[in-house]
């Protein structure tokens, strides 16, 4: 009789739980979410190695470590945020990284846990987790700051940092373009942004790298943001046809 009551209770409890939508039973700080594994992959930022871990086949790096690789990492205790910005003039002080030969790649390293800390890369919220009181993000999220390449034979993933300009970031609802720190020049009485060789500008989902010494980009400001993006897409295609820019991933 007791076993029947126990079974009935378990079934009832399961039914009750199933009625609640996902997210009602919210995770708390420190709740384990999964395994972090040892990795034989070495990640590089501008040729400098940075420590990594593996989560679900994804190469992860510690956000706080980025402060030693040309980024500003600002912690706000009040709103519990980490904000990351590229700082091209910052001194690079890379961490020592040695190939891990003591642990088999893919074996258990530690648990990653839930954190209520929100991480922003140049104002964009990204998914993050925690291990040992530090914050993990996907290394490939840094693609917004440069070009990423993967070498399977060497087990290396690299990012080459670039100056990147996302056209949509400069657009205002009044049809003008502006951004803190943006410096526009002038050519034939027209406002232009001069980009140098290797700089990248982003139009929608496409990234174009300057392939010549420099290119003056005029600031088209007519219509909605969608109108502006369409104009820029056509303009970028023209520059690609002339060889002044190349389409990059």
14 located within any domain:
no
Structural domains counted in the chain: 2
**Range from 63-77, 92-106, 178-192 carrying the lowest mean pLDDT:** 178-192
In this predicted structure, what is the pLDDT of residue 132?
87
Regarding whether 175 and 146 lie in a shared domain, the answer is no
Number of Cβ atoms within 10 Å of the Cβ of 202: 17
Regarding whether 71 and 54 lie in a shared domain, the answer is yes
Regarding whether 39 and 94 lie in a shared domain, the answer is yes
Regarding whether 211 and 114 lie in a shared domain, the answer is no
Summarize pLDDT for 166-210 with one digit per residue, the tens.
877 766 655 555 554 445 555 555 677 788 899 998 888 899 999
In this predicted structure, what is the pLDDT of residue 156?
94
Mean pLDDT of 102-108: 89
H or E, element range at 239:
helix 225-241
% of the chain with per-residue pLDDT over 90 = 48
Summarize pLDDT for 19-62 with one digit per residue, the tens.
555 444 567 888 889 999 988 899 999 999 999 989 988 999 99
* Beta-carbon contacts of residue 30 (< 8 Å; ≥ 6 apart): 113, 114, 130
Q: What is the pTM of this model?
A: 0.74
In whole angstroms, give the CA distance from residue 126 to residue 124.
6
In this predicted structure, what is the pLDDT of residue 212?
94
**Token pair 């993050």 in the structure block, residue:** 128
219 located within any domain:
yes
Regarding whether 153 and 78 lie in a shared domain, the answer is yes
Given a cut of 90, whether residue 93 has pLDDT beyond it is yes
Q: Choose the final residue of a domain: 111, 128, 161.
A: 161
Query: How is residue 172 written in tokens?
Result: 């205002």
| Pairing relationship of beta strands 42-45 and 156-161 according to DSSP bridges | parallel
* Contact of 113 with 32, CB cutoff 8 Å: yes
In whole angstroms, give the CA distance from residue 112 to residue 32.
6
Regarding whether 43 and 149 lie in a shared domain, the answer is yes
Number of Cβ atoms within 10 Å of the Cβ of 144: 16
Q: Which domain holds residue 205?
A: 164-248
In this predicted structure, what is the pLDDT of residue 224?
79
Q: What angle do CA 28, 79, 87 make, to 5 degrees?
A: 115
């Amino acid at each position: 009789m007791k076993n029947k009551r126990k079974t009935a209770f378990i079934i009832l409890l399961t039914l009750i739980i199933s009625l609640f939508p996902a997210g009602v039973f919210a995770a708390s700080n420190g709740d384990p979410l999964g395994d972090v594994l040892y990795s034989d992959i070495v990640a590089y930022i501008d040729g400098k190695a940075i420590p990594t871990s593996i989560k679900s086949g994804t190469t992860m790096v510690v956000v706080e470590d980025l402060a030693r690789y040309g980024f500003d990492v600002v912690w706000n205790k009040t709103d519990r945020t980490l904000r990351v910005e590229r700082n091209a003039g910052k001194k690079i002080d890379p961490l020592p990284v040695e190939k891990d030969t003591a642990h088999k790649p893919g074996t258990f390293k530690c648990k990653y846990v839930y954190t209520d800390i929100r991480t922003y890369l140049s104002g964009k919220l990204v998914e993050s987790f925690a291990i040992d009181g530090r914050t993990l993000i996907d290394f490939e999220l840094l693609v917004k700051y440069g070009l990423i390449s993967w070498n399977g034979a060497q087990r290396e993933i690299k990012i080459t940092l670039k100056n990147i300009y996302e056209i949509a970031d400069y657009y205002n609802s009044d049809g003008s373009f502006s951004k803190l720190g943006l410096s526009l020049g002038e050519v034939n009485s027209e406002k232009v942004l001069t980009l140098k060789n290797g700089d990248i500008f982003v139009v929608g989902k496409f990234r174009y790298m300057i392939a010549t010494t420099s290119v003056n980009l005029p600031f088209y400001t007519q219509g909605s943001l969608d109108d502006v993006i369409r104009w820029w897409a056509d303009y970028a295609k023209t520059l690609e046809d002339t060889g002044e820019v190349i389409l990059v991933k």
